[in-house]
Every structure is written in C-alpha cells, then in structure tokens.
Amino acid sequence: MAWSDLIATCGTQQTMQRAKSALKHNTIYKLGKGGFDPTKPMTLQCDCSGFIAWAIGIPRELPPKSNKWLSTDQYWAGGKPVKAGLFTQKDLASEATIGDLLVYPDSGGHQGHISVISAIKNSKPSLIIHCSSGNFKNFGDAIRETDPSIFLAGNHKTRLMRINYDLFKNMVK
C-alpha cells in the first residue's frame, strides 16, 4: 500500500485505532524520528509530531521529497507551509472531540508538543495519547495515554486543532 492509498482512507476512527495500536511498545523518544512512512508499523524511535503524522496516516514530510515538514509549529499554524487548512482551530473550552489535536508551538528555545485527544469529559479533553521524552524518562515508553495537564497548565499557547481529512484526501486525488 502506498502512503497516498492510506490517506485516501483516513478519518477519525482510523487515526484513533492507529494511535491506540502504538501504546505499550516501549517506544524510545528521539527528536526528529518517526512518521516518515505511515504504511509501515510504528518505528521503535519517535517524537511527538512523527507519532501524530503516523497515527493520522500521513508522512511527516508531505508530500514526500517536498522538503515541507509537519512539526508542532506547522500543526499549530493550521498546516502552513505544507498546506493551509489541514488543521482548523476550534474552541478548547467547548468544541473538543475525540480525535482532535492539542498542540503548542516551539517557544523560547523549547520544543513544542502535540497529542491526540482520546477521551472527553464535560466537553473537555480528559485523556490524550502522546509521544514525549517525559513519558520515556519516567515510564520507559514514550507513547502513553495520560491526562492533558501538560497542555493546559503553564504559559503554553495550546490550541485545539481539528484534522481536515477531506483536504488530505483531496491532496492525493
């Protein structure tokens, strides 16, 4: 199967199935790794944006060999410069749904971070699946399902972003 075939079938259900399938594999956190070929199994080393690209079913360099990369900054900016509108900002206080992304950009010399929402309580994210160095250091597995506090505390410029699957599908038609 080619990556373009996988994108043609993408959707929230597929994203969540893929994200959950990456749990409990003792993934090693490594910045800049993972998400290059979503048609292959999740790699043993990954970072947060590579994990999210893989879960969605897209290569993190999109299209491949374009030198346009999906990092936390691009997810946070709606997909630019890869393609504007790939991700749409929604109201974190009232519009969160399972499969949406929580993301904050790089800032002050610190890496940004991204996750996929896996559970909602009282219209707000209650669980997320994400790949982080903290997960790896503390639990020996970079990909874990946790509460979303890392995104909701502190001075992060966290955004709730909805994946525009139709736009992804149109990219490969």
- Name the superfamily (CATH) of residues 3-171: endopeptidase domain like (from Nostoc punctiforme) (3.90.1720.10)
What is the DSSP secondary structure assignment for residue 107, as one 8-state letter?
B
Q: Packing angle between helix 12-21 and helix 48-56, nearest 10 degrees?
A: 130
Per-residue pLDDT of the chain in tens (173 residues, 90 and over written 9): 788 888 889 999 999 999 999 999 999 999 999 999 999 999 999 999 999 999 999 999 988 888 988 999 999 999 998 889 999 999 988 899 999 999 999 887 789 999 999 999 998 999 999 999 999 999 999 999 999 999 988 778 999 999 999 999 998 87
What's the confidence (pLDDT) of residue 123? 86
Strands 124-131 and 113-121, by their bridges, are antiparallel
94 vs 124: CA distance, rounded Å = 7
Nearest to 57 by CA among 120, 116, 125, 133: 116
2 vs 17: CA distance, rounded Å = 19
What's the confidence (pLDDT) of residue 4? 87
Q: What is the largest CA-CA distance in the chain?
A: 43
Angle CA(48)–CA(121)–CA(135) in degrees, nearest 5? 25
**Which residues face 110 on adjacent strands?**
107
What's the confidence (pLDDT) of residue 106? 85
What's the confidence (pLDDT) of residue 148? 97
Name the helix (H) or strand (E) containing 133.
Answer: helix 133-139
**What does the buried/exposed string (b/e) look like for 25-41 if buried means 16 or more CB atoms within 10 Å of the residue's CB?**
eebbbbeebbbeebeee
User: How many CB atoms neighbour CB 55 within 10 A?
Assistant: 29
